[in-house]
């Protein structure tokens, strides 16, 4: 039986921000592979090089399938998850045992000066609080709730690749779930790569996933090292990427009308938390 996934959506907040977590959807399991599960998608078969919008490209290995931005949104809808319009690609083995969703947030250049100050315990507590609040909305929608168990791998930043990675272990009912997240910093924003795999195969999947990420590259002019003075700079740092960078931008700019697509819970606590965060940065 194959393991598929439903995304809970982007990170949210309630006095803190919640984790981005993609959950399995056994109802799609009878399909034998990606092509059978999603027959109307224009799949690109590996080996090939696939474009992630005009931002980057990814190498698609043999026996892997890639779907572009529009088709990725169709796949997300089929998984009963509202697309966010930031999706740029869907990539996984043809067998459908696991997959990666690529999304780009054009939030600007994210400074990495917090790389040595990431407090894993505090970030996990924020994720737990936000997820508990998000569960209230999930119950209203008739979706299964989620419990955050802890870090599978705490946040770690690679100064050579400018990649921020972490993995969170959760549980829905009796089912263990693990999401592995990679944030690839670029000149004009952040590429999000979220690996979705059953907890039982995560260990075996990670080497393949890391090899896939090794085949990722920003296009010329989009790389982190190509930032120049005058370029847009993000309003938050690495810690906010772990617990909800997209939500931070939305609250800062006041565009709550589309936040339901990005986060599950938005309330007074969200605004209060983020306003205090930005106020602290202005004071600093």
Chain segment 263-276, per-residue pLDDT in tens: 333 332 333 333 33
168-190 residue pLDDT tens? 888 877 778 777 899 999 999 99
131-160 residue pLDDT tens? 887 788 778 878 778 888 999 999 999 999
67-116 residue pLDDT tens? 999 999 999 888 766 677 899 999 999 998 899 999 999 999 999 999 99
Percent of the chain predicted with pLDDT > 70: 73
Residue 113 maps to a domain? yes
pLDDT of residue 136: 83
Count of helix runs (H) and strand runs (E) in the chain: 8, 13
What is the extent of the structural domain holding 154? 6-283
Residue 145 maps to a domain? yes
pLDDT of residue 260: 33
Flag whether pLDDT at 16 surpasses 80: no
Q: pTM of the predicted model, to two decimals?
A: 0.76
Task: Name 44's bridge partners.
Answer: 66
Spatial neighbors of 269 by CB under 8 A, at least 6 apart, are 13, 14, 15, 133
CATH of the domain at 214: 3.40.1000.10
Residues making up the chain, counted from first to last: 284
Give how many domains the chain has, as a whole number. 1
Token pair of 211 as six digits: 């090899």
Residue 148 maps to a domain? yes
Q: Are strands 48-52 and 56-60 parallel, antiparallel or unpaired?
A: antiparallel
Reported confidence tier of residue 13, pLDDT bands at 50, 70, 90: very low
Short-list 88, 82, 48, 259, CA closest to 189: 88
C-alpha 120, offset from chain centre: 18
d(CA 130, CA 16): 6
d(CA 68, CA 74): 10
Flag whether pLDDT at 165 surpasses 90: yes
Residue 1 maps to a domain? no
Token pair of 120 as six digits: 């894993």
Q: What is the mean pLDDT of residues 15-40?
A: 56
Short-list 193, 186, 276, 174, CA closest to 234: 186
d(CA 17, CA 11): 6
Q: Please, what is the average pLDDT of the chain?
A: 77
Count of C-beta atoms within a 10 Å radius of residue 278 = 14
Flag whether pLDDT at 59 surpasses 80: yes
Residue 251 maps to a domain? yes
Please say whether the beta carbons of 62 and 112 come within 8 A: no
Flag whether pLDDT at 7 surpasses 70: no
Whether omega for the bond prior to residue 47 falls within 30 degrees of 0, making it cis, is yes
DSSP state of 265: -
Residue 131 maps to a domain? yes
Residue 134 maps to a domain? yes
């Amino acid at each position: 039986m194959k393991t598929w996934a439903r995304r809970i959506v982007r990170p949210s907040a309630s006095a803190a921000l919640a984790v981005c977590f993609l959950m399995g959807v056994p109802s799609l399991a009878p399909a034998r592979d990606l092509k059978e599960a999603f027959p109307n998608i224009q799949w690109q078969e590996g080996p090939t090089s696939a474009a992630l919008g005009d931002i980057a490209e990814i190498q698609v290995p043999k026996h892997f399938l890639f779907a572009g931005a529009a088709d990725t949104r169709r796949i997300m809808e089929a998984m009963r998850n509202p697309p966010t319009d930031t999706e740029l690609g869907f990539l996984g083995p043809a067998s459908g045992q696991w997959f990666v969703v690529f999304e780009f947030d054009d939030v600007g250049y994210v400074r990495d000066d917090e790389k040595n100050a990431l407090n894993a315990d505090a970030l996990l507590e924020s994720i737990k609080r936000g997820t508990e609040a998000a569960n209230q909305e999930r119950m209203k929608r008739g979706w299964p709730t989620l419990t955050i168990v802890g870090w599978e791998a705490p946040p770690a930043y690679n100064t050579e690749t400018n990649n921020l990675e972490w993995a969170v272990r959760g549980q829905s009912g009796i089912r263990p779930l693990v999401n592995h997240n990679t944030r690839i910093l670029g000149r004009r924003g952040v590429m999000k790569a979220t690996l979705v795999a059953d907890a039982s195969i995560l260990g075996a999947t990670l080497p393949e996933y890391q090899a896939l990420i090794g085949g990722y590259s920003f296009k010329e002019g989009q790389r982190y090292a190509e930032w120049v003075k005058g370029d847009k700079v993000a309003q938050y740092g690495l810690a906010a990427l772990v617990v909800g960078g997209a939500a931070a931008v939305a609250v800062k700019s006041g565009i709550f009308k589309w936040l339901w697509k990005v986060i599950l819970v938005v309330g007074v606590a969200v605004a209060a938390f983020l306003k205090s965060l930005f106020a602290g940065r202005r004071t600093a």
